[in-house]
Amino acid sequence: MLVKGRLLTPRGLIEGCMKVEGERIVRISRLGERDPQTYDFGGKLVLPGLIDMHVHLRDFDLSYKEDIKSGTSAAAAGGFVAVADMPNTKPRVDSLEVLKWREEIARQKALVDYGFYVGVGRLEGTEKLALGLKVFMPQEYYSGQREKTLRSIEYAEGHGMLTVVHAEDPSLGETPEAEAHAIREICGLGLRRLHITHVSSRAGHSQIRGATCDTCPHYLLLGGSSPPHSKVHPSIKGREDSEYLLQAVRRGGIQAISSDHAPHLPEEKAEGAAGFPGLETSLPLLLTLVNKGELSLERLVSAMAEQPARILGLKRLGSLEEGKYASFTVVDLKAESVIRPEEFRSKSKLSPFEGWKVRGLPVATFVRGKPVMLEEEVVGEPGWGKNLKFL
């Protein structure tokens, strides 16, 4: 297979073609190669496949909110080749037994590659299937399970697993200080592989030591506002926080951007559920910033592909290079659209970004040499996605 377009490689933008054999990239060149199976994307951009390191695919007893098929369809539509799924499911993913069961379901339903985090619990053996441990400090560390949380962290550290933390101290409410205090405390443990997820404030970010972090589009774009459906944990802070966080993304002090895709039903949102789907809005929102000159394309690709791959330890994803997987995202930087939640592939058809005008859209997503989204249509099949630990 041959892919033609403007390829964003570690050597810069190459107008040329990418030769793919099976699941891998075998050559990238400026030469006019020929192949009976050619995808010619013309002037469109071919980016390393985007990776969302924080999503909630739900499934199990919460399949009415989202399941692994609908969630990974949303990922394919949004330009993501891989997603990392959080363990706050029903039942929780907090043992090898539940993890094996989830893997069994995911291997049948996933359209894109997936990884799992395991929650605080019995971690023995989970390093074989999970990318890391997820710690939800408000309900674990700060709610009478401090010792149990520390034991899980110790296990993760001892087995080379990444620890990803939702850092908030609920005794300080939903303030920047709640985030700052929790981040200071968790960083104080001096872990080798620590990642703070969905950082929402300047105060929080300023406390990070010896850890990587991510933020989400809503913290970058919605500071100081509260449109319908925008309730989320951590809460959206002020305008200055948004400006600070965007500047930190530009400078690399925030390494990654995740969506925290958190689907709920409208009636649950009305009753106060926190979170909203993000897989189908993240890339268009951020490409709009690129078009406005507020974020460089290189930083976007770093935060959404290279760095998530590096942080998660995915050696064959994250850049377009010989030998890596042919997982890539094709983008039309000039295409304009409006965010219409009723058109989401996610089961959760709501968004605080409803009605936003965006410029820059994903037009194709390929996972290991196979198209899963083409011309904005999801063409992938359940069962193609693989556990990232097995790649």
52 touches, from Zn ion, ligand NCD, none (C-beta below 5 to 8 Å by class):
none
- Interface residue with ligand NCD among 262, 312, 330, 361 (CB under 6 A) is 262
- Which listed range, 16-24, 249-257, 260-268, 313-321, lies at the site for Zn ion (CB under 5 A)? 260-268
| Binding-site member from 232, 249, 287, 289 for ligand NCD (CB under 6 A) | 232
Tell me how far apart the alpha carbons of residues 191 and 379 are, in angstroms, rounded to a whole number.
41
Q: Is 100 left (phi over 0), alpha (psi -120 to 50) or beta?
A: alpha
**58 lies in the site for Zn ion, by CB under 5 A:** no
Going by C-alpha positions, the residue among 106, 107, 14, 16 that lies closest to residue 58 is 106
Tell me how far apart the alpha carbons of residues 298 and 320 are, in angstroms, rounded to a whole number.
13
- For 122-157, b/e burial (b = at least 16 CB within 10 A) is ebeebbebbbbbbbbbbbbbbeeeeeebeebbebbb
Alpha carbons within 13 angstroms on the beta-carbon side of residue 172 total 17
232 binds, among ligand NCD, Zn ion, none (CB under 5 to 8 A by kind): ligand NCD
Which residue in this structure is represented by tokens 């050559």?
27
Residue (113 or 168) nearer to Zn ion, CB: 168
The residue at minimum Cβ distance from Zn ion is: 166
Candidates 58-66, 187-195, 252-260, 377-385; binding stretch for Zn ion (CB under 5 A)? 252-260
The nearer residue to ligand NCD, 279 or 297, going by C-beta atoms, is 279
Q: Which of residues 171-190 bind ligand NCD (CB under 6 A)?
A: none
User: Residue 166 CB, nearest distance to Zn ion (Å)?
Assistant: 3
How many angstroms separate the Cα of 137 from the Cα of each of 13, 49, 202, 249?
42, 31, 19, 24
**CA–CA distance, 94 with 83 (Å, rounded to integer):** 19
Q: CA 164: distance to chain centroid?
A: 13
Partner touching 88 among Zn ion, ligand NCD, none, CB below 5 to 8 Å by kind? ligand NCD
With contact defined as beta carbons under 8 Å apart, do 360 and 287 qualify? yes
Binding test (CB under 6 A) with ligand NCD, winner from 27, 233, 370, 389: 233
79-98 mask for ligand NCD (x: CB under 6 A)? Answer: ---------x----------
Whole-angstrom distance, CA of residue 150 vs CA of residue 140: 10
What is the token pair recorded at 306?
């290279």
260 annotated active-site: yes
Residue 169 as a binder of Zn ion (CB under 5 A): the answer is no
Among 56, 69, 202, 237, binds ligand NCD (CB under 6 A): 56
354 exposure class (CB count in 10 Å sphere: 0-12, 13-18, 19+)? middle
Task: Compute CA 235 distance to the chain's CA centroid, rounded to the nearest angstrom.
Answer: 19
Which is closer to ligand NCD, CB of 274 or CB of 333?
274
Per the residue annotation, which of 85, 169, 260, 332 is the catalytic one? Answer: 260
Q: What is the closest distance, in whole angstroms, from the C-beta atom of residue 243 to ligand NCD in the complex?
A: 22
275 part of the interface to ligand NCD, by CB under 6 A: yes
Q: Choose which of 102, 134, 166, 218 interacts with Zn ion (CB under 5 A).
A: 166
Q: What's the full length of the chain, in residues?
A: 391
Nearer to ligand NCD, 214 or 306 (CB): 214
> From the list 69, 166, 229, 269, which residue makes contact with ligand NCD (rule: CB under 6 A)?
166
Active site residues: 260
Binding site for ligand NCD (CB under 6 A): 56, 88, 166, 232-233, 260, 262, 274-275
Binding site for Zn ion (CB under 5 A): 166, 260
